[in-house]
Amino acid sequence: MTFAEFSLGVLSRFGWRDLLDVLIVAVVIYEILKLLRGTRAVQMALGAGLLVLLFYLSRWAHLETVNWLIRNMVGYIVFALIVLFQADIRRALAHVGRTPFGSYFARTQRAQETIEEVVVASGLLSTQRVGGIIAIERSIGLRNYIEGGIPLDATVTYDLLVTIFRPGTPLHDGAVIIQGERIAAAACFLPLTVNPQVSKDFGTRHRAAIGLTEETDAVTVIVSEETGRISLALDGGIESGLTAETLRGRLRELLTVRRTESRELSQQTSL
């Protein structure tokens, strides 16, 4: 039997169950590699691979002592790995048990927490008469403006936001951009609006916020340094004199509802 005939025979017996079997194994291996990436388990996996290689090498070369030693060490190594990597194992099991619905509620919860941190920070800045501008990315990316600032990739917390805009700090001059519930960058410079209808009472900070919303669908929160007034810029317009409660309601309306509609639209498009 030639190799071509053997290959045709194997392919003729290869059904949809075999394909499903291969796909499941491939997905499992891929997810395991993703979980191992960037953790200390990578080095342990390499060590385990070397032990397996040494085991088969000892059998092939008839190294009886080495083979006996590896066979008797395997049981102890398994228990040692469970003890050493219990945190990673818990994380892996939690990742496997995560459902799409759980991910949806987790994203919604993170969005609500981000909104709350922004509202608290805005209130503190307003009380202290400290100027600030916080841009929140939505559908249109703000990568160009993020790359022009100082990258942070930090969790959104009100104390960090207040610290950034504190006068005298290196990052206070410019805007903070929030991307995906994280502070992507600070000290970002935004385009100024050239709309002649914008009130002359607005300074550079407000004009930059309006200019960004003219070019993107971002939502921008501004705190005036002179008056402590909280404003919200959206679609080239601006809403001034907002209270903390009003700002919270507007952000929830613009961010959580908008993201839910975007996800539903993408699901309908894929169907």
Q: Which parts of the chain sit beneath pLDDT 50? A: 99, 101-103, 260-271
Please write the tens of the pLDDT for every residue from 107-127.
667 788 899 999 999 999 999
Please write the tens of the pLDDT for every residue from 143-168.
889 999 999 989 999 999 999 999 88
pLDDT at residue 40, as a whole number: 58
Q: Which two tokens stand for residue 32?
A: 């395991």
Q: Are strands 132-136 and 175-179 parallel, antiparallel or unpaired?
A: parallel
* Domains of the chain listed by start with CATH number: 3-96 (no CATH), 101-270 (3.40.1700.10)
What do you get for the CA distance between the two ends of the chain, in Å? 47
Q: Which two tokens stand for residue 214?
A: 């003219």
pLDDT at residue 264, as a whole number: 45
Angstrom distance (rounded) from CA 18 to CA 22: 6
Angstrom distance (rounded) from CA 252 to CA 25: 41
pTM: 0.60
Q: Where are the alpha helices (DSSP H) in 37-154?
A: 41-60, 64-84, 86-96, 100-128, 143-147
pLDDT at residue 1, as a whole number: 54
Find all residues with CB under 8 Å of 203, minimum gap 6, and list them: 224, 226
Angstrom distance (rounded) from CA 147 to CA 184: 9
